[in-house]
Amino acid sequence: MAISTWTLDKAHSTVEFSIRHMMISRVKGTFNEFSADIKADPEDLTTAEVSFSIDVASIDTGNEDRDNHLRSADFFDVENYPTLTFKSTNFEKQGKQYAVTGEVTLHDVTKTETFTVIPGGVVKDPMSGAEKAGFSVEGKINRSDYGLTWNAPLETGGVVVSDEVKIALEIQASKNE
């Protein structure tokens, strides 16, 4: 298979995160608005080029008060920093999966991060006839590296919100003809 351009299938893709809350549990959420530019051979991602953009105001943790706090200047400050972006710089094959390294930009801070990409395969969609590819992406970032430093101490030690944010994406894309 050769390098092709792929269109993100948002109806079958998700961007999720989880973060430790009060040192005792994890809060999970999603971003509902995102887009991607994908140029890849899904059978060999070593030459792939991916750009991804997330509208951080689309955060959804299932709690409106918490979502509004996360949109505020204490966290994402969506009025001044509306997007989180990722641009790949390297894909390295590691057995049946890949390590994708790229530039993450959030709050006007850009850091190099590496995530794991697990190919899900390529199939022909029986409804549309389009060629579809799927990928699972996993990793983590340190939110304070990007200036998201709001926190409060707990009486028992520790803090309300951990620095480590786990990220999980399920991506399905259609090959452009």
Local mean pLDDT, 10-residue blocks, the chain (177 residues): 89 93 83 96 92 97 93 93 97 96 97 97 89 96 88 70 89 91
According to the model, what pLDDT value does residue 1 have?
A: 67
| Alpha-carbon gap, residue 70 to 72, rounded angstroms | 5
According to the model, what pLDDT value does residue 45 have?
A: 93
Determine which helix (DSSP H) or strand (DSSP E) holds 40, and give its type and residue range.
strand 34-41
According to the model, what pLDDT value does residue 152 have?
A: 66
Domains of the chain: 4-175 (2.40.128.110)
According to the model, what pLDDT value does residue 103 have?
A: 98
What is the CA angle 143-23-112, rounded to 5? 20
